[in-house]
Chains A and B, each alone.
Chain A
Amino acid sequence: MKPKTVDRIATGVIVTFALAIVAILVGLLGFIIFRGIGHISWDFLTSKPQNLRAGGGIGPQLFNSIYLLILTLIITIPLGWGAGIYMAEYAKPGRITNMIRLVVEVLSSFPSIVIGLFGLLVLVNTFGFGFSLLSGALALAVFNLPLMVRTTEQAFRSVPKAQKEAGLALGLSKWKIITSILLPVALPAMITGTILAAGRIFGEAAALMFTAGMSSPPLDFTNWNPFSERSPLNPMRPAETLAVHIWKVNSEQLKPDAAEIAAGASAVLVIMVLLFNLFARWFGRFVYRRMTAAKRMD
């Protein structure tokens, strides 16, 4: 065969497979959303689930998913950004840095079930946090940190060398250079990376079943005192997230409409992840524009 013909065939094959992947995605999303969309209503999104009867919604679960995400970010952002800055700016090539890098890589590929079991053993039982949002957020932080460290490090490394040297020439301290010269430039990439990494939190179930628990106490949505037992903001209360709820509904529920609820909740979850990804991109670009515009004004 002529090389030209081979080339054409190979290109055809590659294009076919690439389109097949798009088809798989469209099929998957279509299937999930099509099955569930009929069940989604304002009432479904806001009311609390029924244990026994038909009907009921996913309101508390939806709230829990979002609140848990926020709690996790509160824990991981200072730690992850700090560690990322260390790796980019302070770490000297050597055995210790090498080891830290290994730690980050291992942490990011830990099976989530192992993290969940670790959480049950250490956070829930030993530390006595119980099945709570706090335990869940700490367990999720373990997944989230390595990703955040990596994106932060990459963001800092991609800042042009000249900017840093300018800072050094001005006689600024290293910390000053990091916070006032490098950080603003790296921030958009860091934010996008952080939000994208956080999107995975929505879907996590295996680790949360053992840490945040599988039930929600009745919540009083007029009580916003984080220390009150029935307040939705109390970090020490158990919380079932949307992904865990889907797992539970699928497996053990006796409600007559369990299948529809699982389908509806899956659709909501997928739509949430979609919106979150779009938001991450838009927000990253938004921050970038603000940052660069601000610089020109100076």
Chain B
Amino acid sequence: MFKKAKKFPLLVTTLAMTVVLAACGSGSDSTGSGNTDNTGTKLSGSILAVGSSALQPLVDQAGQDFMEVEGNEDITVQVQGGGSGTGLTQVADKQADIGNSDVFAEEKLDADQAKTLVDHQVAVVGMSAVANKEVGVTDLTQEQLVDIFTGKITNWKEVGGADQKIVIVNRPASSGTRATFEKYALGQSAPDLQGAIQEDSSGTVKKIITETPGAIGYLALSYLDDSITAIKYNGIEATVENIESGTYPVWAYEHMYTSGDPNEVVKAFLDYMLSDEIQDTYVVDLGYIPVKGMQVVRDAEGNITEK
């Protein structure tokens, strides 16, 4: 009897534990962590913001300041990266309180899911085509940009620059930055070209463009400096004034989505994000443009209206 029983417990426990695990897996529900124990005017609770890694430094910094504001000692703000897609999914599934995103939710989620989310636009990010310093071009028309990014033009001399092969430094197809650039600068989607470099992070994109002869790519305004050439778009420079007035079209909102209307704690934080304390300091420091300065408004379809 001793011998027969030997393998038995091993098998049974294995099976049992697997079943338990699978059962846990099927009931995939998790509660949002923003509980509002509202006692008087003092707020308490925790906020979890997940998503866009580009937006993370801003929200993280704002969150740390927010926790130091008087009366907020019992609030904790956690900010995670992970990408816009992760952020939107997590907030739609109520696993996070705020989903940070570089794009409108409609562009990532299906319509039903996107409808449940409430958009809070906290900043505007402008983008510019940038090139290696040696290419000898400082201005490109929309058409020329399209021809470059679709592979019709392959040498800088065709657009009046040096005799250098064009090296495209793109973003992956899933990137919000790329979606913005294609939608508002090119006006069409561009294919992934053979041999084009793709990098997800702005830091790496900048490094490669700085070092590689003939490289072209696009970056948020905050990354522009003397090591690369910012290229004018149809003769218009990517400046804060041009974006605010609506003359320069390549920009996008930074979104902080909540599932339904935010609870008290989350609302307090979102209000804080939009307060002058953040908008006039960190938003500007990070190269974003405060939403309040914008003279135009853009919806998810890309229609622009005067404010």
Chain A interfacial positions (CB closer than 8 Å to B): 51-52, 92, 96, 122, 124-128, 130-131, 209-210, 213-215, 217-218, 229-230, 237-238, 248, 250-254, 258
Contact = CB atoms under 8 A, between A and B. Distances in A.
Given A96-B7, A122-B25, A126-B24, A213 B282 contact: no
B65 to A, nearest CB: 10
Given A52-B285, A122-B25, A252 B76 contact: no
A215 B202 contact: no
11 contacts: A52-B61, A52-B282, A209-B82, A213-B80, A214-B81, A215-B56, A229-B46, A252-B202, A253-B57, A254-B57, A254-B223
B43 interface: no
Contacts of A215: 56, 60, 78-81
A83 B90 CA distance: 36
Nearest to B202: A252
A206 to B, nearest CB: 13
Interface residues of B, number: 42
Interface in B57-72: 57-58, 60-61, 64, 67
Contacts of A258: 203
A96 B204 contact: no
Given A96-B7, A250-B203, A252-B202, A52 B78 contact: no
Given A218-B67, A238-B78, A252 B203 contact: yes
A254 B219 CA distance: 12
User: What 7 A-B pairs come out closest when comparing CB atoms?
Assistant: A251-B201, A128-B30, A214-B81, A51-B61, A51-B57, A213-B80, A252-B53
A39 B194 CA distance: 40
B28 A252 contact: no
B28 A125 contact: yes
Contacts of B30: 125-126, 128
Contacts of A250: 201, 203-204
A229 B67 CA distance: 13
Given A215-B56, A217-B76, A251-B53, 9 more contacts: A51-B58, A125-B95, A126-B25, A126-B28, A131-B78, A209-B82, A213-B78, A238-B78, A252-B57
A251 B78 contact: no
A229 B93 CA distance: 24
Interface string B174-209: 000000000000000000000000001111100000
